[in-house]
Homo-oligomer: A and B are copies of this chain.
């Protein structure tokens, strides 16, 4: 694998190497198509249907002439995995597309000229809470440091349902939400813009093939249903959350927006980066028992870019820290017969690591406002200000092989 190389130029440090071959959806003048990317070149897969690239796969004729990846993902891994492999081979040196006759076609497009859209028609969205460090930090700050984890936390991957309608593409401006909050010491709530707007560093996976109501997905079959992953920012208004969330969980504090990265990186792409997860003790119930390496070594970073463009890195975390892995999450989600559908997405919850520089939210990084972040221009942040952009990145890197997720950006605008 290491020696593979594309005939397209891949800049040093690019997320989009020949090993990646992620899937996205481009849009121009009413035309939408599934695409992939090598270096700074977008490859229109629908245009590739006129080449021999997909020979032998028997794909439906309009499978890439779509506004989302859903139709393709629904074909199942028996089709999507070889399809991706054929795309990868075609984009390698000497591959099918490495041919002058394709240079003047609409197959290859400069990334800067292409508008990408939300790649998934999202059905249901679930958010987990699967980082032990994050749950411990929150429990320590708001409850009892000696009993930071709630009694159920080590026995099941805690999750809750979120809002699909407000999941937006990277780059979509995020309006600061208004809402009800209860100021400390007040006897009645007040209404206004959130004063504690935060990000949450998360990853999300998307369901490729679904189940029927009543079916379960055992841990050992879960990967068959997981098409791939994206970066995810679960924007959170902490002051709204604090007042509203007991007893039924977060609602308006989170459903004003979540930001997702444009490229779905497949499970197959990150296969070389599997690692073992943290040990689980107490022992989990049999339906959650997961053998083997079920975590992935994905570096994650967060920076805050102020209105003048000056950047401040605020977190360096890793997806491998997750206590509950994706297979356990999906097995738990369906163990009661809950069905999943193509395009459902499931997010990890905030991914915090063991040290303060790896925490995945301003709430933790600034420890409830007590340790402000110093910005390059001398101002401070305890939460996110209007005009700030939060940029999440994620990448795998090993022995010269790099696979990245691109950027997950959101800029906060005034309410």
* A residues at B contact (CB < 8 Å): 123-124, 129, 150-152, 155-156, 158-166, 168, 172, 175, 177-180, 182, 188-191, 210, 213-214, 216, 237, 240, 243-252, 255-257, 282, 285-287, 332-333, 335-341, 344
Tell me which of A155, A177, A244, A248 has the highest count of chain B C-beta atoms within 10 A of its own C-beta.
A248
Instruction: State A252–B124 Cα separation when bound (angstroms).
Output: 14
Knowing A158-B248, A282-B188 touch, does A240 contact B336 (C-beta < 8 A)? yes
The 9 closest A-B pairs by CB, nearest first: A249-B249, A177-B336, A161-B161, A160-B248, A256-B336, A248-B249, A255-B338, A252-B336, A175-B214
**Across the interface, which residues of B come within 8 angstroms of A150, CB to CB?**
246-247
**Chain B proximity of A336: nearest CB distance (Å):** 4
Starting from the known contacts A172-B213, A249-B249, 8 additional A-B residue pairs (CB-CB under 8 Å) come to: A123-B165, A158-B251, A161-B163, A165-B210, A166-B338, A177-B337, A191-B285, A248-B250
**Across the interface, which residues of B come within 8 angstroms of A286, CB to CB?**
191
19 examples of A-B residue contacts, CB within 8 angstroms? A124-B164, A124-B165, A150-B246, A152-B189, A156-B244, A158-B244, A158-B248, A160-B161, A160-B250, A161-B162, A166-B338, A175-B337, A177-B337, A188-B282, A190-B285, A247-B249, A249-B249, A252-B338, A257-B337
A189 touches B240 (CB 8 A): no
Instruction: State A250–B159 Cα separation when bound (angstroms).
Output: 9
Knowing A165-B339, A166-B213 touch, does A252 contact B333 (C-beta < 8 A)? yes
**Across the interface, which residues of B come within 8 angstroms of A285, CB to CB?**
180, 189-191
**Across the interface, which residues of B come within 8 angstroms of A282, CB to CB?**
188
Instruction: State A179–B344 Cα separation when bound (angstroms).
Output: 21
Instruction: State A152–B246 Cα separation when bound (angstroms).
Output: 8
**Across the interface, which residues of B come within 8 angstroms of A249, CB to CB?**
160, 245, 247-250
In the complex, residue of chain B having the shortest beta-carbon distance to the beta carbon of A207: B165
B178 touches A338 (CB 8 A): no
Instruction: State A180–B336 Cα separation when bound (angstroms).
Output: 9
